Amino acid sequence: MAIKHRAVSRRTRLVSACLFGLACAATLPAQAQQVLSIVTSFPKDLTAVYKKAFEARNPGITVEILNKGTSAGVAFVREAPDGNKPDVFWASAPDAFEVLANEKLLQKFDGANKAVPAKVGDYPINDPEGLYYGQALAGYGIMWNTRYMKANKLPEPKEWADLAKPVYFNHVAISSPSRSGTTHLTVETILQGEGWNEGWRQMLQIGGNCAAITERSFGVPDGVNNGQFGLGLVIDFFGLSAKSSGFPVEFVYPSVTAIVPANIGLIANAKNAELGKRFISFTLSPEGQQLLFDAKISRLPVLPAMYEKAPAGYPNPFGGKITAKVKFDSDLSRSRYYVVNSMFDHTVTFRHKELVAATKAINDAAAKLAGKPNAKAEALLNEARKVAYSPVVGEERARDKEFLSLYSASKRDALKTKQLTALEEEWGSQARKNYARAQELAGQAAALAR
Amino acid sequence: MATAESAGGAVAAPAGGAGLQGAVALAIAAFLLIFLIVPVGTVIYVAFANPDGGLTLAHFGSFFQLSLMRESFWNSLYVAAASVVFASLIALPLAYFTARFQFRGALLIQTLGVLPLIMPPFVGAVAMQLVFGRSGSLNLLLNDWLGITLPIMDGLNGVIFVEALHYFPFILMNLIVALNNIDSAMEESAQNLGSSGMRLFRRIVFPLAMPGYVAGASLVFVKVFDDLGTPLVLNTTNMLAPQAYLRITSIGIEDPVGYVISVLMIVFSLFALWASALALRGRDYATLQRGGSTLGKRRLKPWQSLLAYGWIAFVLLLVLSPHLGILLLSFAKVWSFSVLPDAYTLEHYATLYHDSPRMIGNTLLYCGLAAGLDVVLGTAIAYLMLRSRLPLRRSLDFMASAALAIPGVVLAIGYLRTFRNVEIPFSGELLTSSWILLMLAYTVRRLPYALRSCVAALQQLHVSLEEAAENLGAGKRRTIQRIVVPLMAGGMLAGFVTSFMTAAVELSATIMLTTSQSAAPMSYGIYLYMQSAAGRGPGAALGVLAVLLVALGTYLSHRFLRSRAAELETRM
Amino acid sequence: MQNQVRVEARNIALSYGTTPVLRDVNLVIEPGEFFALLGPSGSGKSTLLRLIAGFNQAQSGQILIGGEDVSRIPPWKRNVGMVFQNYALWPHMSVWQNVAFGLEERRLPKGVIAQKVAAALALVSLSDYAKRRPSQLSGGQQQRVALARTIAIEPNVLLLDEPLSNLDAKLRLHMRDELRQLQRSLGITTIFVTHDQEEAMTTAARIAVMDQGVIQQVGTPMDLFDNPVNRFVANFVGSINLLPGSIRASAPPLRVVSPVLGEFSLPQLAQVPPAGAIEVGFRPHAVVLKAVDAPRDGEHVWLQGTVNDYEFLGEFVRYHIGLEQGSMVADQPHRAGHAPFARASRVAIGIPPAEMRLIGD
C-alpha cells in the first residue's frame, strides 16, 4: 500500500514539474529585441504591411500587433497596468479615441506631419488637443454585389436617398451607429445634411428597407461579399479592398457623405513610448502613407501630395470630387452622439421586425395605388408614412442641453439609469406603436385601392 | 443524486477521508473563487453600484422598466427551449442507432456527430450563410428549381436552427455514454416481455438514459440561453445575451443595465440547472452492471437499415454542411452569390503555412491543458457532490456552472483587472501578459461542460461498486483511482473532448487575453483573418485545420477508449 | 392451466469468435415440465437459456417452441417469460408499473391489465407494495416482483436464470418451495438455470447437466445421481469416491479388478464402459464402516483404511479415510450415544457391489 502511494505521489510530482516547466518555457523567450506593441482594430492585411515596412526600416525592433476590435481594445488599454501598457492605439472609430482621451489614456506628443491639412471638408483631421492624429481618410459610401443586383434586377444606387426607395426593400444592410463609429458619422452626416426630421425620415426608410442591422461594421461588407445582402452602407476601403480581392462588388461615394480620419495615437504610460512615437511618425510620413495604396488596404492618405502617385482611378478626397457638401459640425455631432445612437437602436435596431413590416405594408399599398388614384387612400398612405418615418424625439428636444446632459456622464447612478431606461422604454414602445399604426393605415389604404 | 442520498449512510466516510475531501473541496472552492468569482465580481458589481461607491438595487428596477427586456427574456427562453427540442431530434436517433444496433461506421458517425461543436468563429457563420442563407447554395438551388426560398437563417428561427445544429453534440455525447452504461438485462427483460422498437426506446431505454440526456439537454438549454455569438452574427439583437453584450461593450459607457442582465442570466441559468437536477431527484438510475460488453448489438432488417442509414446520412449532411461550406471556402477563389465557388485554389493554405504554424501548437497546448484541468476539477466536484457528506457540496457545482452564463469578455476584463501587476513566481513576468491566463480562462469557461459529463457518469455508477473496493481494502483514494475513474472514463472522455473542442474555438476571451502574436491560438488567427475580404480564404483554411485537428483528437480518444474497453473485456 | 408447450433444441452450435460456447446441443423439454440446466459457470447453460429467449443467435441448429421453429422470431414476439439473475427491475417505474409493462406492450385494455397485475402481485403476496419503487424493496421482494412481472404475461415458457442466487440461504429455501408450488399450479413449461446441484435436484423434474458447451447427461435427479455417465456428472451431482481399476471380463458376470479393492464381480449395470482402464465409483453414504476386528459379511467388498479426520454434520459423520493408495470419504449415519471412530484408528470399509458404478475415462 505504502509503496503504491509513493508511486502516485511521484506521478503527481512529475505532472506538476511538467506544468512548471511549461510555464517557464512560455515565459522564457528573453526579449533581446525591442518590442513595439500596437492595439488595433484593423485587419491583418493592413497591419502586416506596416509591420513589415517598419521592421525593415528599424532593425532590432519587433512590431507586435494586438488585434482586438475597438471596444475590446479600449478595455484592454484601460486594464493594462501602468508602465506595461501597449504603445500605440490605431483604429477607425473617433469615439474610441475620445474615450481614451477622456480617461487620460493617451499621451500627447509632437509628431504631426505638417504637410497634412487641418481639415478634410469640415472635419478636423487631427485631434485639436494633439492627443491623436488622422492617419488615413475614410469615406462612407454604398457597396453592392453585382451578381445579386443582376439576379434581382435592381438599379445601381447613387445617393443615400436612393436606398429609401421601395425597389430596394429587403436588399440593404447597415451597421448600427452605436456599434460602428463611422456608421454613426454617416448617420450624423445625413442628419446634418438633410436636417433632423428629414434626415430621420430617410434613415427610418432605409432602416425599413434593410434585410439586417449588423452588429459589426464588417458584417455589412461581409454580407455583401457573400451575396447575402444586395447593398450596404460601408466605409470605402471595405468596398475597394473587396473589389480588389476579386469579389463581384462595386462601390460609390454618394454626393453627400462624410470623409473622416482613421486615427492613431500614443498610449500614456506605455512600455516603449519612444518606439510608439517612431511608428506613428512613420505612418504619417510619405513612405508610410504610400503603403495605403496597397490593393488589400485601399485607404485614402491624409497627405494630399500622395495622390499624385495614386493608382489610376483612385478616389481623392482633396480633389473636390467627393468633398462632402455638408458643413459638418463635429461639436453638434459630439453633443448628441449617444442620443442619436440610442434613438437609432431603440427605433430601428431593436424594432427592426416591426419597422420592416410597416415598410412592407406601405410599399404594398403604394404599389396597389399606383395604377388607380384614390384621394382617400393616398391620404391614408401619407399618414402611414408620416407615422412610421417620424423621429420619436423632436428637433427641439434634441437640442435641449438638459436633455443631452443626461448622456454626458460615463458612469451612471441609479437615478440616471432610471431616467435613461425610461427614455429607452418610451422610444421603443412609441416606435412599436407607430409602426403598428402605420401598418394598419397602409392596410386600410390598400383595401381602398380595390 | 438519489444514489448519494439513499446510500449516504453507507458511504459516510471515515474521519480521515472526510478531512481529505474537505481539503480538496476547499482547494476547488479557492480556485473558483480566484479565477471565477472574484474576477467576475470586479466587473459585474456595476450592476449593484452607484458611482458614489454605495450599493443599490435600483438598477434592477430600471431593468424591469424596459419592455424590451421582457421581450428579450421570452425570446431567449423560446429559442433555448426550441433548440433543445430540435437538438434532441437530431441527437436521439444518432445515439440510439449507433449504440444499439450493428452499424457499420458507428464510430465514424459518432465522431462526425460531434464536429458541429467545432464551429470556428465567423468562418462558421460565413459558411452557414453561404449554404443556408438568403442567397446561400440551398436557396439559390430552390429558387432555380422551384422558384421558392426558405428563410432558414432569419430571425429567431434562424437562431434556433443554427443553435440546434451547433450544440446537439452535447446531447449526443452524453446520451451515448448513458446508453452504454445501461445494464443490458434492463432492456432484455423488456424485450422478453414483448417490447420492441420505439416503445422499447420510449418506455425503457430513454428513461434509463435520462441522467445523460438531462445532462446534455440542460447544457444545451443554458448554453443557448446564454449564447451571444450566434444571435449576433445572425443580427438578432432582441435576446438577453446580445442585449447585455451590446450594453456592456458600448464604448465609453458603463451601463449598469448591461450588468444587471448578466446577473439575471447567471441566476436564471443556475435555476435551470437546479430544476434539471430536481427532475432527476428521487429516482435511482444507478445500475450495478455495466452493459455495453454483454449487450449484443441488434441487427437491423434490410429495410430498417436502409431507413436508418438514410436518416443518418441526411442528418449528417445537414449538420456537417457548414463544415463542407468552410472546406469549399478554404479552396475558393471567390464565392459570392453562387451555388459553388467560381474557381478553386490552394493558395490560402500556402498563406497559412507562412503565417501561423505556431498557432496550432498553441491551441493544442492551451486547450489540452485547460480540458485536462477541467476533467480533473469536474471529476473531483462530481465526486464530492454525489459521494461526500460535506456541507454546501452542491455550491461547488453552482459556482462552476455559473461560468456558463458569463460572457467571455466580462471574465477577460475581470482577469486583467484582478491580476494586474501580479507576477508569475520566479520569472518576473506579468501574469496578464502570459498565456497562462488565457489557458485558465478556457478552463473556467469550459468547466461546466466537463462537469456535466462527469456528474452524469458518476450518477450511473452504483455506489456498491465502490463499497466492494473499499471492502477489499482499497482506501478512498485507491477506490477512486482504480474503480471510479476507470468506470467513469467514458464520461470523463466526453467531458475532455467537449471542453477541448469548444475551447479551441473560443473567441471573446481569446481576443481580450491574447497579448502577443507568438502566443496566439488558432481562434485568434481565424478572427484576425476574418476581418477583411481578402482574409476569408485563409481564415477558412485555418478553420478547416482547427476542425481537422479537433476531429482527429476526438477520433483518437475514442479509439483509445475502445481499445481500453476491449482490453478490460479480454482480461475478464 | 395454460396450454403447455414442448421446447426443443436441435443440433445447436454457437460460438463467440473462435470460442465455442455450445456444441451440438440437443434437448427436449416436455410440456409442463420443470426442467433445470445445471452446470458450472462457463458451461453454456445461460447461453442456451438466452437462446431460447431470443437474445442470442445460434450459428446452426434450431429452437422449437410448441413445435414451431422460433430461430427467426425476435425476443419480443416469442412469449417466453424470463426472470433475470439480477431481476432487471426498472428503477424508474413502480412495482405496479413494472408488472403492468408486458401487459401494456400487449395493448390489453386498461381494466384487464389492472386485474392481471393485481392477480400477479397477489400470487407473490406483494399486493401491498404496488406503489413502491424497486430500490425500496428487499432482495426477496425484488425477486418476487420479477417473477410477477414475468408470469403476468402468461408466457408459454418460463425461463429462470439463477433466480435464487442473489438471496440468503433461508430465503432461498423458501423461494424454492414457492417456485415449485407456483410452477405446479401454473403448469407452465419452466426452464431453470443453476449451478447449484441441490437446488436443481430439489426443484426440477428433470435435469440437463452441462459442461464446456456440451450436454453431459439428461435425466431425473435420481437417475443422474444413481447412474452418472461420466466423471464430470458423477462429481457434479452429489459427491463420489473414485478408485482406479480395470475390467477383466465384460461378459456377465462382469469381473473388475482394482489394486485397492482386489478382484470382484458386479451385478448387471445400466452402463458398462468399454474394457480397459476405468474408475470404480461409489457414494460416501453407501459404505459401511466397521472396526477392523469386527466380523465382515460376504455381501460387501471389503478393504481397510485409516481414519485421517472426520467431521460431524448432525445427521451423519463424514470420515476422510486414507487407503493404501489414495483416499476416500465415507458418511456414516449418526445416532445418539454412538462414538465416532477415533482419528488414526484402522477401520474396515464395506462397499455393496450394487452401489458400485464403473466410469470410463
Give how many domains chain C has, as a whole number: 2
Q: Which of A35, A82, A214, A226 to mutate to test binding with chain B, by most B CBs within 10 Å of its CB? A: A226
Q: What SS3 class is residue A394? A: coil
Pick the most confident of A78-82, B380-384, C162-166: B380-384
Region C193-221: what's the mean pLDDT? Answer: 92
Q: Check pLDDT > 70 for residue B295.
A: no
Contact A296, A45 (CB under 8 A): yes
- Contacting residues for B103 by C-beta, under 8 A, at least 6 apart: B97, B109, B297, B300, B308
Same domain assignment for residues C167 and C264 = no
Same domain assignment for residues A366 and A429 = yes
Q: Check pLDDT > 80 for residue B4.
A: no
Same domain assignment for residues A115 and A77 = yes
Judged by CB atoms closer than 8 Å, whether chains meet at B62 and A228 is answered as no
Q: How many residues does chain C have?
A: 361
Region C198-221: what's the mean pLDDT? Answer: 92
Query: In B, residues 318-337, which contact A (CB 8 Å cutoff)?
Result: 333-337
Region B383-406: what's the mean pLDDT? Answer: 86
Region B195-207: what's the mean pLDDT? Answer: 85
Contact B403, B39 (CB under 8 A): no
Q: Find the radius of gyration of the CA atoms of chain C.
A: 25
Residues of B in contact with C95 (CB under 8 A): none
Share of chain B above pLDDT 90, in %: 20
Q: Which of B185, B188, B283 has the CB atom closest to C92's CB atom?
A: B283
Judged by CB atoms closer than 8 Å, whether chains meet at A425 and B52 is answered as no
User: CATH code at C319?
Assistant: 2.40.50.140
Return the DSSP state at A349: I
Region B515-527: what's the mean pLDDT? Answer: 87
Residues of A in contact with B56 (CB under 8 A): 414
pLDDT bin (cut points 50, 70, 90) of residue B429 is confident
Distance of CA C21 to CAs A33, C41, C57, Å? 73, 12, 12
- ipTM of this predicted complex? 0.86
Residues of B in contact with A76 (CB under 8 A): 416, 512
Q: How far apart are CA B380 and CA B383, in angstroms?
A: 5
Residues of C in contact with B196 (CB under 8 A): 74-77
What domain range includes position C264?
Answer: 239-359
Q: Lowest mean pLDDT: which of A14-18, B298-302, B474-478, C276-280?
A: A14-18
Judged by CB atoms closer than 8 Å, whether chains meet at B210 and C92 is answered as yes
What domain range includes position A389?
Answer: 336-450
Same domain assignment for residues C192 and C65 = yes
Higher pLDDT, B84 or A295: B84
User: Touching check for B59 and chain A: CB below 8 Å?
Assistant: yes
pLDDT digits (tens, 9 = 90+) for C151-189: 898 899 999 988 888 778 888 888 888 888 888 888 899
pLDDT digits (tens, 9 = 90+) for C54-108: 888 888 999 999 989 998 888 888 888 888 888 888 877 889 988 998 888 888 9
Same domain assignment for residues A265 and A359 = no
Q: Lowest mean pLDDT: which of A146-150, B303-307, C211-215?
A: B303-307
Same domain assignment for residues C109 and C48 = yes
Same domain assignment for residues C255 and C197 = no
Residues of A in contact with B66 (CB under 8 A): 421, 424-425, 428
Residues of B in contact with C76 (CB under 8 A): 191-196, 200
pLDDT digits (tens, 9 = 90+) for A111-143: 888 888 888 877 888 988 889 999 998 888 899
| Closest listed residue to residue C89, CA positions, set C55, C36, C132 | C132
Judged by CB atoms closer than 8 Å, whether chains meet at B193 and C84 is answered as no
Same domain assignment for residues C44 and C183 = yes
Whether A341 is covered by a domain: the verdict is yes
Residues of C in contact with B192 (CB under 8 A): 53-54, 75-76, 78, 80-82, 150
Same domain assignment for residues A341 and A441 = yes
Q: Check pLDDT > 80 for residue B307.
A: yes
Angle, alpha carbons A72-A78-A80 (nearest 5°): 100
Return the DSSP state at A128: T
Judged by CB atoms closer than 8 Å, whether chains meet at B51 and A29 is answered as no
Residues of B in contact with C51 (CB under 8 A): none
Same domain assignment for residues C61 and C205 = yes
Judged by CB atoms closer than 8 Å, whether chains meet at C55 and B208 is answered as no
Q: Check pLDDT > 90 for residue B289.
A: no
Q: Give the number of other CB atoms < 10 A from CB of residue B218.
A: 26
Q: How far apart are CA C309 and CA C306, in angstroms?
A: 9
Residues of C in contact with B183 (CB under 8 A): 86, 88
**Region label for C58, one of left (φ > 0), alpha (ψ between -120 and 50) or beta (otherwise):** beta
**pLDDT in the model for residue C34:** 93
Strands A88-91 and A34-40: parallel
pLDDT digits (tens, 9 = 90+) for A159-216: 888 999 999 999 999 999 988 877 888 888 889 888 899 999 999 999 999 999 998 8
Domain termination residue (choose one: C232, C262, C288): C232
SS (H, E, C) B300-365: CCHHHHHHHHHHHHHHHHHHHHHHHHHHHHHHECCCCCCCCCCCECCHHHHHHHHHCHHHHHHHHH
**pLDDT in the model for residue B18:** 67
Q: Which of A24, A409, A425 has the CB atom closest to B65's CB atom?
A: A425
- Contacting residues for A164 by C-beta, under 8 A, at least 6 apart: A202, A205, A206, A209
The DSSP code sequence of B66-126 is: -HHHHHHHHHHHHHHHHHHHHHHHHHHHHHHHHHHB--TTHHHHHHHHHGGG---TTHHHH
Domain termination residue (choose one: A309, A324, A344): A309
Query: In B, residues 364-423, which contact A (CB 8 Å cutoff)?
Result: 365, 369, 409, 413, 416-417, 420-421
**pLDDT in the model for residue C338:** 82
Whether C1 is covered by a domain: the verdict is no
Give how many domains chain A has, as a whole number: 2
Distance from CA of B418 to the nearest CA of A (A): 9
Q: Check pLDDT > 60 for residue B65.
A: yes
Q: Which of B237, B436, B527 has the CB atom closest to A23's CB atom?
A: B436
Q: Lowest mean pLDDT: which of B83-97, B547-561, C176-190, C291-305?
A: B547-561
User: CATH code at C145?
Assistant: 3.40.50.300
Residue A225 amino acid letter: N
Query: In B, residues 65-94, which contact A (CB 8 Å cutoff)?
Result: 65-68
pLDDT digits (tens, 9 = 90+) for C254-279: 888 888 888 888 877 767 777 778 88
Contact C202, C176 (CB under 8 A): yes
Whether A29 is covered by a domain: the verdict is no
Q: Check pLDDT > 80 for residue A237.
A: yes
Residue C340 preceded by cis peptide, ω within 30: no
Distance of CA B168 to CAs B116, B151, B160, Å? 8, 21, 11
Q: Check pLDDT > 80 for residue C334.
A: yes
**pLDDT in the model for residue B564:** 63
User: Touching check for C133 and chain B: CB below 8 Å?
Assistant: yes
Same domain assignment for residues A364 and A286 = no
Q: Give the number of other CB atoms < 10 A from CB of residue A331.
A: 6
Same domain assignment for residues C205 and C331 = no
Domain termination residue (choose one: C185, C209, C232): C232
pLDDT digits (tens, 9 = 90+) for B433-457: 889 999 999 999 999 989 988 888 8
pLDDT bin (cut points 50, 70, 90) of residue C321 is very high
Distance from CA of B109 to the nearest CA of A (A): 31
Q: How far apart are CA C350 and CA A88, in angstroms?
A: 112
Query: Please, which chains are in contact with A (at least 3 CB pairs closer than 8 A)?
Result: B
Which residue of chain A has the CA closest to B508? A72
User: CATH code at A302?
Assistant: 3.40.190.10
SS (H, E, C) chain C: CCCCCCEEEEEEEEEECCEEEEEEEEEEECCCCEEEEECCCCCCHHHHHHHHHCCCCCCEEEEEECCEECCCCCHHHCCEEEECCCCCCCCCCCHHHHHHHHHHHCCCCHHHHHHHHHHHHHHCCCHHHCCCCHHHCCHHHHHHHHHHHHHHCCCCEEEEECCCCCCCHHHHHHHHHHHHHHHHHHCCEEEEEECCHHHHHHHCCEEEEEECCEEEEEECHHHHHHCCCCHHHHHHCCCCEEEEEEEEECCCCEEEEECCCEEEEECCCCCCCCCCEEEEEECHHHCEEEECCCCCCCCCEEEEEEEEEEEECCCEEEEEEECCCCEEEEEEECCCCCCCCCCCCEEEEEECHHHCEEECC
pLDDT digits (tens, 9 = 90+) for A20-45: 444 444 444 444 578 899 999 888 88
Q: Do chains B and A touch (3 or more CB pairs under 8 A)?
A: yes
Q: Which of C101, C153, C159 to mutate to test binding with chain B, by most B CBs within 10 Å of its CB? A: C101
Q: What SS3 class is residue A313? A: coil
Same domain assignment for residues C117 and C179 = yes
Distance of CA A343 to CAs A349, C75, C102, Å? 9, 69, 65
Q: How far apart are CA A152 and CA A154, in angstroms?
A: 6
**pLDDT in the model for residue A3:** 39
Angle, alpha carbons B266-B270-B274 (nearest 5°): 170
The DSSP code sequence of B511-545 is: HHH---GGG--HHHHHHHHTTSGGGHHHHHHHHHH
List, in order of start, the domains of chain B with CATH numbers.
16-340+350-571 (1.10.3720.10)
Grid cell digits, residue C286: 453407501
User: Touching check for C42 and chain B: CB below 8 Å?
Assistant: no
Same domain assignment for residues C291 and C220 = no
Residue B572 amino acid letter: M
**pLDDT in the model for residue A82:** 86
**pLDDT in the model for residue A14:** 44
Q: How many CA atoms lie less than 13 Å away from A284 in the CB half-sphere? A: 26
Same domain assignment for residues C179 and C294 = no
Domain termination residue (choose one: C203, C232, C261): C232
Whether C15 is covered by a domain: the verdict is yes
Whether C2 is covered by a domain: the verdict is no
Contact A257, A182 (CB under 8 A): no
Distance from CA of A249 to the nearest CA of B (A): 9
Same domain assignment for residues C153 and C279 = no
pLDDT digits (tens, 9 = 90+) for A191-207: 988 889 999 999 999 99
Judged by CB atoms closer than 8 Å, whether chains meet at B478 and A4 is answered as yes
Q: How far apart are CA A350 and CA B236, in angstroms?
A: 9
Region B491-516: what's the mean pLDDT? Answer: 86
Mean pLDDT of chain A: 85
pLDDT digits (tens, 9 = 90+) for B126-176: 888 889 988 889 999 998 898 888 888 888 999 999 999 989 988 998 888
Distance of CA A424 to CAs A339, A342, A351, B38, Å? 10, 7, 12, 32
The b/e string for B461-475 (b: 16+ C-beta within 10 A; e otherwise) is: bbbebbeebbeeebb
With residues binned 3-state (H G I as helix, E B as strand, rest as coil), the percentages for chain B, rounded to 5, are 75, 0, 20
**pLDDT in the model for residue A1:** 35
Distance from CA of A188 to the nearest CA of B (A): 18
Distance of CA C251 to CAs B391, C247, C257, C264, C356, Å? 85, 10, 14, 14, 17
Q: Do chains C and A touch (3 or more CB pairs under 8 A)?
A: no
Q: Check pLDDT > 70 for residue B412.
A: yes
Angle, alpha carbons A58-A63-A64 (nearest 5°): 170
Whether A4 is covered by a domain: the verdict is no
Contact A206, A175 (CB under 8 A): no
pLDDT digits (tens, 9 = 90+) for B49-61: 887 777 888 888 8
Which residue of chain B has the CA closest to A424? B66
**pLDDT in the model for residue A157:** 94
| Closest listed residue to residue A297, CA positions, set B350, B532, B539 | B532
Distance of CA A404 to CAs A94, A337, A424, B316, Å? 20, 9, 14, 55
**pLDDT in the model for residue A330:** 78
pLDDT bin (cut points 50, 70, 90) of residue B108 is confident
Contact C159, C53 (CB under 8 A): yes
Same domain assignment for residues C208 and C275 = no
Q: Lowest mean pLDDT: which of B32-41, B464-473, B523-532?
A: B464-473
Same domain assignment for residues A279 and A371 = no
- Contacting residues for C231 by C-beta, under 8 A, at least 6 apart: C242, C279, C359, C361
* Sequence-ordered alpha helix ranges (H) in A28-134: 44-57, 70-79, 94-102
> How many B/C residue pairs have CB atoms within 8 Å?
86
Same domain assignment for residues A269 and A124 = yes
Q: Check pLDDT > 60 for residue B231.
A: yes
Q: Do chains B and C touch (3 or more CB pairs under 8 A)?
A: yes
**Region label for B92, one of left (φ > 0), alpha (ψ between -120 and 50) or beta (otherwise):** alpha
Contact B544, B346 (CB under 8 A): no
Higher pLDDT, C5 or B109: C5
